[in-house]
């Protein structure tokens, strides 16, 4: 299964940005606070949250995005906003390969942990703990506890007379594994112009298992939020 977002990067902002910003805006209003050291955005994607974090926080924002296709969109976005971009440092490797130490007092990690098997999650959480100062806050989305076979439509978006739309299908592929398939469509005057698809493998974990992984990495879980959000403190 592709994990490179080579297909999804084209469609992500059009089909998912509105819903994404609604969710992350609520979470940041509640949990961001006022970082004084730095901010870490792991799984920064196309940069939708990076710009918000840079505008809200007068500190360095570390944007971690290993996928070249998503990072290309992120960097294009930064090029349009040179003032906040001057405080955004883009990292092109997974957080567990960066060796960051004490660079932030706020960490932000959504839509990322579900894509990692247990060993990689442990390494990522340990790296996050190293990157945060003691007492730093981490807002992280844990993997889903369970997933049933399902299908849902993505929002549609018109561009120049074309209609961009899609759907996501969830399929259980093992007792602790799930696969998400994203099918994208471009239509014109009711006729299909082209299609594209990309699939991602995911991993399930119970809330208790993920809390234990957080504790092993040096975090204390303080609160929860929806969907599947854990707010933890670096010990």
Domain edges within the chain:
8-144+205-234, 150-203
Q: How far is CA 175 from CA 2, 14, 55, 106, in A?
A: 21, 33, 42, 34
Question: CA-CA distance, 128 to 219, in Å (whole number)?
Answer: 10
Q: Which of 90, 93, 99 is nearest to 126 (CA)?
A: 99
Does the structure show a pLDDT above 90 at 34? yes
Q: Which fold has domain 150-203?
A: N-terminal domain of TfIIb (2.20.25)
36-84, pLDDT tens digit by residue? 999 999 999 999 999 999 999 999 999 999 999 999 999 999 999 999 9
CATH architecture, domain defined by 8-144+205-234: 3-Layer(aba) Sandwich (3.40)
The residues facing 166 across adjacent strands are 154, 184
As given in the structure block, the two tokens for residue 59 are 């500190």
What pLDDT shows up at residue 3?
A: 54
Averaged pLDDT, 189-217: 97
- Looking at residue 161, the DSSP 8-state letter turns out to be T
Question: CA-CA distance, 6 to 68, in Å (whole number)?
Answer: 8
Q: Which of 78, 39, 46 is nearest to 61 (CA)?
A: 39
- Looking at residue 160, the DSSP 8-state letter turns out to be T
Averaged pLDDT, 140-164: 96
Q: Which of 22, 14, 19, 23 is nearest to 46 (CA)?
A: 14
Q: What's the whole-model pTM score?
A: 0.96
- Residue for token pair 């929806």: 226
Does the structure show a pLDDT above 90 at 2? no
- Residue for token pair 């509640």: 30
Question: CA-CA distance, 83 to 1, in Å (whole number)?
Answer: 38
Contacts of residue 172, defined as CB under 8 A and 6 or more positions apart, other chains included, come to 147, 148, 149, 178
Specify whether the CB–CB gap between 64 and 44 falls below 8 A: yes
Question: CA-CA distance, 39 to 57, in Å (whole number)?
Answer: 8
What radius of gyration do the chain's Cα atoms show? 18
């Amino acid at each position: 299964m592709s994990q490179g977002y080579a297909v999804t990067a084209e469609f992500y902002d059009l089909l998912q940005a509105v819903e994404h910003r609604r969710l992350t805006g609520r979470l940041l209003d509640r949990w961001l606070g006022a970082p004084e050291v730095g901010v870490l955005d792991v799984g920064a994607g196309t940069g939708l949250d990076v710009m918000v974090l840079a505008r809200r926080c007068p500190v360095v924002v570390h944007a971690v995005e290993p996928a070249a296709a998503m990072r290309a969109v992120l960097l294009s976005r930064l090029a349009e906003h040179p003032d906040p971009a001057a405080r955004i440092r883009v990292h092109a490797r997974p957080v567990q390969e960066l060796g960051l130490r004490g660079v932030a007092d706020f960490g932000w990690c959504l839509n990322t942990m579900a894509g990692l098997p247990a060993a990689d999650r442990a390494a990522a959480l340990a790296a996050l703990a190293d990157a945060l100062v003691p007492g730093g806050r981490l807002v992280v989305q844990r993997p889903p506890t369970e997933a049933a076979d399902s299908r849902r439509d993505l929002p549609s978006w018109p561009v120049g007379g074309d209609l961009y739309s899609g759907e996501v299908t969830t399929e259980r592929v093992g007792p602790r594994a799930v696969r998400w398939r994203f099918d994208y469509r471009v239509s014109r005057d009711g006729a299909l112009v082209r299609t594209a698809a990309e699939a991602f493998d995911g991993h399930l974990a119970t809330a208790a298992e993920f809390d234990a992984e957080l504790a092993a990495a040096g975090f204390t879980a303080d609160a929860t939020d929806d969907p599947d959000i854990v707010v933890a403190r670096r010990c």
